[in-house]
Structure 1
Amino acid sequence: MKTSHFLLAATMLAAPLSLSAQHSHKPGAAAHGHKAAGETHAHKSPHGGTVRTAGKYHIELVQHANEVHVYLLDGKENSLAVNRTTGSVMLLSTTGKTSTVKLTPAGDHLVAALPAGSMLRTAIVSVKANGSSLSARFEKLDAAAKAGKTAGTAYECPMKCEGSASDKPGSCPKCGMALVKKA
């Protein structure tokens, strides 16, 4: 009986800590420091991918047909130079196969080739940048791909009108509202 009370108390004490580590941002919100590694971001992603916190930085992962692009971002989601950044990405496919692929610099981002015919479920990005070792975990990538969250459709109608997805800003063809970047 005492053990169950202890576990309940420990769970209740830990709950506020874990909840405070998970938060969302509103578009246009002021930049701030982050403490929670790998936290999900519901605000803008500059390249149409998924953003996670990694120390004082952010990492954005963008899926393409045969590769993934990884962007290193500052606290205001601006891209940082990656010419001296090294790293790898561990990939888990929907078939349960894992592989680790080296990330190579390509302009303002890093690129990793995907194994032929694989559909990603999870990617764990590990990089060394500016003297810091950073990592971020990206899960449910297969669900995001099915929902149309690819680099080719980075904008959508805030009312989620069918056929509103676009690769550039504009207006919804059905309701006329301004398209917004996908979160």
Structure 2
Amino acid sequence: MKILQVLAAALLLAAPLTVAAQHSHKPGTAAHGHKAAGETHAHKSPHGGTVRTAGKYHIELVQQAGQVHVYLLDAKENALPLDRTTGTAMLLSTTGRTASVKLTPAGDHLVAAVPAGTTLRTAIVSLKANGSSLSARFEKLDAAAKAGKALSAAYACPMNCEGSASTQPGSCPKCGMALVKKS
């Protein structure tokens, strides 16, 4: 068992993601290239998390009170329906422990419990969606948590639309109304 944990940790730390991705954010504009799946670049985070490229899609990871929430997003960062979407997350803690957790549907996103007492350093999310296998690597999650990033949403839709929570002002991805600051 210890050998499997060491092997999993080594793979988690050294696994290069080599899938190339190209997409366009606006109709009629040229596509831009990305070096690898999971690359960070100028994407908004509609749910207050961290967004990574995964093929022609994006994956957003949000940390909340002992859970990770995973959103599958299109090229315009809108949440996609999760019909027959399945997934797992390989979690690496700041103490070097690894855990593989199953992501389960929860409305417009997937969720998994983080083992009690765990501070995440890295997560590799693997999804099977729309006939594609997708993966994204999220690193330095412990630094983001310390900075307060992605821990709680300060804005939400006044119509309480599911998936509208955000750390910054904007519009609801469901109904388009302006997000309001929570009290």
Scaled by the length of structure 1, what TM-score is found?
0.67
Q: How far is 1:30 from its partner?
A: 3.5
Aligned equivalents of 2:150, 2:129: Cα separation in 1: 26
Is there any run of 5+ residues in structure 1 with no aligned partner, and where? 1-20, 22-28, 156-165, 171-183
Structure 2 residues not aligned, in runs of 5+: 1-19, 156-165, 171-183
Following TM superposition, by how much is the alpha carbon of 1:70 offset from its aligned partner in structure 2, in angstroms?
A: 0.2
Structure-2 residue corresponding to 1:137: 137
Alignment match, 2:64: 64
Q: Partner letter of residue 51 of structure 1? A: V
Query: Which residue does the alignment assign to 1:49?
Result: 49
Are 2:116 and 1:113 aligned? no
* Alignment partner of 1:90 is 2:90: yes
Query: How far apart, in 2, do the equivalents of 1:58 and 1:34 lie?
Result: 14
Aligned residues: CA RMSD: 2.6
Closer, same or farther: CA 153–105 of 1 in aligned 2, 3 Å: closer
Structure 1 residue ranges, 4+ long, deviating more than 6 angstroms after superposition: none
Percent identity between the two aligned chains: 77
Amino acid in structure 2 at the alignment position of 1:83? D
TM-score (norm 2): 0.67
Greater shift, 72-81 or 29-38, is seen at: 29-38
